[in-house]
């Protein structure tokens, strides 16, 4: 297969490139380095089956030759990133998804969209199932991301209905691992970075809001299964091991031996109170569930950040 990954120099995108190259496929990564980094794909520079195209996917994407799949992962992904780049976030979700769908259609390729648990907003249904329509504030600071992804899902299914494009949609819940940008503000890199530097962990609000954390290799396996499946409607992928942010902070301090404790800071606007995926659909249609425990995943992630910070 020949697979194109938009956002291929990002955290998840670069792991997808590694995964498909290891499976023997040809991979083209497209990225403009808005939030990603050349470091994430430096090890692939001389790989004979890897090609990199530096471009903004909101512009026309010109690719020579055939493609079997287009995986659309380009988008700022952390609250800090999409609040810093609100217009780029809306553009890549809207115009970028249009261009990526158009490319897939022109090549007769399968299209997979990276959507998000943020389409559920601050959910009133718990845990979140795919048939829940969500509780999103369109005009809040997070609206640029949530609505861009909701538009992207609508665009994807419009291409499926109007042009018979083979489409897949993954709703990704909080995922972590090596190559998560240390400065993107997300809770996992923030806490691990603070712990390694011996600083107090910054818990937002009272820390009673919940999340669950999926290790990146589990996510990538689920995405590959979804791509190969016949499932056209959105599928949640994430780890259902729910905990409060405060519990997570205590876990990180214990795990790293950080003695600096915790400090409380104001919470961001519209920060979801409870989030946890219902993954029964992924279990049923993909025979998928996460396998990597939080301890195993943290071990690998802390090691990666230590190298980045301490050298």
Distance CA 89, CA 71 (A): 17
- Residues 68-87, mask of contacts with ligand UDP (x by CB under 6 A): ----------xx--------
Other Cβ atoms within 10 Å of 38 Cβ, number: 12
Give the Cβ contact number of residue 245 at 10 Å: 21
Rounded least distance, CB 233 to ligand NAD, Å: 17
Nearer to ligand UDP, 151 or 264 (CB): 264
How many helices (H) and strands (E) would you count in the chain? Answer: 10, 13
Question: How far is it, in rounded angstroms, from Cα 254 to Cα 266?
Answer: 24
Choosing among ligand UDP, ligand NAD, none, which partner's interface includes residue 96 (Cβ < 5 to 8 Å by kind)?
ligand NAD
- Both tokens of 100, joined, read 């990526």
The reply on whether position 155 binds ligand NAD by CB under 6 A is: no
Given 16, 52, 70, 96, the residue binding ligand NAD (CB under 6 A): 96
Query: Is 121 an interacting residue with respect to ligand NAD (CB under 6 A)?
Result: no
C-alpha distances in angstroms, 164 versus 21, 60, 182? 28, 21, 40
In the complex with ligand NAD, the residue whose CB is nearer, 116 or 190, is: 116
From CA 142, how far away is CA 296, in angstroms rounded? 31
Which one of ligand NAD, ligand UDP, none interacts with residue 211, CB within 5 to 8 A by kind? ligand UDP
Out of 219, 245, 279, 282, the residue judged to bind ligand UDP by CB under 6 A: 245
Sheet holding 26-31, edge to edge: 50-54, 26-31, 2-6, 69-72, 110-116, 167-172, 235-237
Contact between 172 and ligand NAD (CB under 6 A)?
A: yes
Q: Where are the beta strands (DSSP E) in the chain?
A: 2-6, 26-31, 50-54, 69-72, 110-116, 167-172, 175-176, 201-204, 210-211, 214-215, 235-237, 243-244, 262-265
Hunting for tokens 């994407």 — which residue is that? Answer: 61
Cβ proximity to ligand UDP, 25 vs 271, nearer residue: 271
Binding flag, residue 199, ligand UDP (CB under 6 A): no
Token pair for 12: 């998840």
Q: Which residue shows structure tokens 């729910």?
A: 242
List, by residue number, the catalytic residues: 145
The least distance separating ligand NAD from the CB of residue 236, rounded to whole angstroms, comes to: 10
The CB-of-47 to ligand UDP minimum distance in angstroms stands at 31
- Residue 267 engages ligand UDP in binding (rule: CB under 6 A): yes
Among 100, 114, 226, 298, binds ligand NAD (CB under 6 A): 114
State the number of binding residues for ligand NAD (CB under 6 A): 30
Residue with tokens 């259609």: 105
Q: Is 196 in the site for ligand UDP (CB under 6 A)?
A: no
Judged by CB under 6 A, which stretch of 81-89, 101-109, 182-190, 282-290 contacts ligand UDP?
182-190
- Which sign does the torsion angle of CA 112, 114, 115, 116 carry? positive
- Contacts to ligand NAD by CB under 6 A: 6-7, 9-13, 31-36, 56-58, 73-77, 88, 92, 96, 114, 116, 172, 174-175, 181
- Contacts to ligand UDP by CB under 6 A: 78-79, 174, 185-187, 190, 202-204, 209, 211, 245, 267-268, 271
């Amino acid at each position: 297969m020949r697979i194109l990954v938009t956002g291929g120099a990002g955290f998840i995108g670069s792991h997808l490139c590694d995964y498909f190259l290891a499976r023997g496929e040809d991979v083209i990564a497209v990225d403009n380095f808005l939030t990603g980094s050349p470091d994430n794909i430096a090890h692939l520079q001389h790989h004979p089956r890897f090609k990199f195209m530096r471009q903004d996917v909101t512009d026309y994407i010109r690719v020579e030759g055939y493609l079997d799949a287009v995986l659309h992962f380009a988008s700022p992904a952390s609250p800090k990133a999409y609040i810093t780049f609100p217009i780029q976030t809306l553009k890549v979700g809207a115009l970028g998804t249009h261009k990526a769908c158009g490319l897939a259609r022109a090549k007769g390729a399968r299209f997979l969209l990276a959507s998000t648990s943020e389409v559920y907003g601050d959910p009133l249904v718990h845990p979140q199932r795919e048939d829940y329509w969500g509780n999103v504030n369109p005009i809040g600071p997070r609206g640029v991301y949530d609505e861009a992804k909701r538009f992207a899902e609508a665009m994807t299914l419009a291409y499926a209905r109007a042009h018979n494009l083979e489409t897949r949609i993954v709703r990704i819940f909080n995922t972590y691992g090596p190559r998560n940008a240390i400065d993107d503000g997300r809770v996992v890199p923030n806490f691990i970075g603070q712990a390694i530097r011996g600083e107090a962990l910054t818990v937002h609000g009272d820390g009673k809001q919940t999340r669950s954390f999926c290790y990146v290799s589990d996510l990538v396996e689920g995405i590959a299964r979804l791509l190969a499946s016949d499932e056209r409607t959105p599928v949640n992928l994430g780890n259902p091991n729910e905990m409060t942010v405060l519990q997570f902070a205590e876990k990180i301090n214990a795990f790293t031996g950080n003695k600096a404790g915790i400090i409380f800071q104001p919470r961001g606007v519209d920060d979801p109170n409870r989030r946890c995926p219902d993954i029964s659909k992924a279990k049923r249609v993909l025979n998928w569930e996460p396998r990597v425990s939080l301890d195993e995943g943290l071990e690998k992630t802390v090691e990666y950040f230590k190298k980045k910070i301490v050298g």
